Amino acid sequence: MKNNNVFFWSLVVALGGFLFGFDTAVISGAEKAIQQLWGLSSVEHGFTIAVALIGTVFGAIFGGIPSDKLGRRHTLIWIAVLYFVSAIGAAVTSNWIAFMVFRFLGGLGVGASSVTAPLYISEVSPAEKRGQMVAMFQFNIVFGILAAYLSNYLLTGVGENDWRWMLGVQAVPALAFFLLLFRVPESPRWLLGQGRVEEGRHVFQRINPATADQEVTSVLTSNASDDAMVGSKSLFAPQYRTPVILAVLFAVFNQVSGINAIIYFAPRIFEMTGLGQGAALLSSAGIGLVNFAFTLLARQVIDQFGRRKLMLIGSFGLIATLGLVSWAFYSQNFSAMGGMLVPVLLFVYIAFFAFSQGAVIWVFISEIFPNTVRAKGQALGSSTHWVMAAIIAFAFPPLAEKLGGGHTFAFFCGMMVLQLLFVWRMMPETKGTSLEQLEKTLVIH
């Protein structure tokens, strides 16, 4: 019974990840029609597509504030409202400025959900299942991306304004997310932090009656210890230096792997190797399927293997695949495997990324901060991730054009060598350890 409760709550909250992935990818089916409808210049068109990413950065930066003030559950309810309003508004508006406002609101939802959803799941999950539960969020992001591509495909040609249906259909899962959240309790750790001890105890009893009193005592002791420290409410107090450094570096390495450049610009990369447009688009769909499959695999083994082992395996795989892609561009050797050498290497790259960084990032960052600053720490890690995502997305096309594929992928490869050193020398293992026990290890008392 106890695990069924946690699984259901985590599944509902992870719907925020599904909407995150859907919102991010759905614009791909509508972007050409939008440009034609409003006669947008290339700069206006680029900004219209990027405005959701700008919203995501702001949502991530400020997402920790309502999580602390209103609670995790109430913040998630407001995120569901943002997704719903964004989907309906973007689908029905006939005004370009209003369209961008609605897309910006959706981006706020994406950014805030990347803070609050992993945070909530981490705080309700038993230590031995926490990795698997939080990784459900990343799995749902990937699932949402696939669902958006499939939805766009099915809705293509349904009418003159098919793009409106593509954007508007997101309102259905957003409404389901909103309604299901009323069957989810508030985070017990947040309740205890607000002095609502009996409410927190009740939630812990629904998780596991046998350990509820022990969990309450552990959280209250941890919170009292934090309160006794100078600057305990400030994320950048000296005692939190280790988790802050770990979160920022982890998020930076996630993006300097080149993952978003590859996902956003896969058809362009494949065309650079001489593939025709049709084969390039088909290869891009293959990337989505590989990402989905290996995210699912990682979710199954993250609590057995541990976060650190997945990251070590992934780092070696990313170094090898990026190095080989770089070599292929330097040597212009694209003819192997019937011209599919680079696509195959990038499929393997995606497999290693999904198995390591993709699955581990939201789990690891949600675990390493103490209760009193966990929302702020999650916001720091998430906003770092999104700022770096924006930088890489905007910088990749001119870099690839000026430097060529060889230099660009060599840079990503070099960053993964640094990631390997980071994992080997600095990254602690967090599997199977309670959040309060991790605090004793990572926070300077």
pLDDT at 158 (0 to 100): 81
pLDDT at 230 (0 to 100): 54
pLDDT at 1 (0 to 100): 42
* Closest listed residue to residue 137, CA positions, set 377, 360, 385: 360
150 or 303, which is more confident: 303
1 or 133, which is more confident: 133
Burial class (CB in 10 A: 0-12, 13-18, 19+), 120: buried
Quickly state the pLDDT bin for 35 (edges 50, 70, 90).
confident
Structure tokens at 406: 């060889």
Tell me the per-residue pLDDT of 52-81, one tens digit each, with 9 for 90 and over: 889 999 999 999 999 999 999 999 999 999
Tell me the per-residue pLDDT of 331-360, one tens digit each, with 9 for 90 and over: 887 766 656 788 889 889 999 999 999 999
pLDDT of 3 strictly over 70: no
* Closest listed residue to residue 87, CA positions, set 146, 167, 15, 162: 167
pLDDT of 183 strictly over 70: yes
pLDDT at 4 (0 to 100): 84
Tell me the per-residue pLDDT of 193-250, one tens digit each, with 9 for 90 and over: 999 999 999 999 999 999 999 999 999 998 888 776 655 578 988 899 999 999 999 9
pLDDT of 117 strictly over 80: yes
Give Cα 140 distance to the centre of its chain. Answer: 10
CA distances from 273 to 323, 331, 332 (A): 16, 11, 8
159 or 123, which is more confident: 123
**pLDDT above 70 as % of the chain:** 92
Tell me the per-residue pLDDT of 16-27, one tens digit each, with 9 for 90 and over: 999 998 998 888
**Dist. CA 93–CA 102, nearest whole Å:** 9
pLDDT at 311 (0 to 100): 97
Lowest mean pLDDT among 11-15, 48-52, 158-162, 263-267: 263-267
Tell me the per-residue pLDDT of 138-155, one tens digit each, with 9 for 90 and over: 999 999 988 888 888 888
Nearest 5 degrees, angle CA 99-CA 265-CA 335? 155
Tell me the per-residue pLDDT of 79-102, one tens digit each, with 9 for 90 and over: 999 999 999 999 999 999 999 999
223 or 159, which is more confident: 223
Structure tokens at 88: 């309906």
323 or 392, which is more confident: 323
pLDDT of 51 strictly over 50: yes
Quickly state the pLDDT bin for 278 (edges 50, 70, 90).
low
pLDDT at 177 (0 to 100): 97
Summarize the confidence of residues 171-181 as an average pLDDT. 97
**Dist. CA 287–CA 164, nearest whole Å:** 26
Rounded to the nearest integer, the mean pLDDT of the chain is 89
**Dist. CA 144–CA 152, nearest whole Å:** 12
Q: Which domains does the chain have, with CATH numbers?
A: 1-184 (1.20.1250.20), 230-445 (1.20.1250.20)
Summarize the confidence of residues 165-176 as an average pLDDT. 96
**Dist. CA 86–CA 17, nearest whole Å:** 16
Lowest mean pLDDT among 72-76, 184-188, 431-435: 431-435
Quickly state the pLDDT bin for 263 (edges 50, 70, 90).
confident
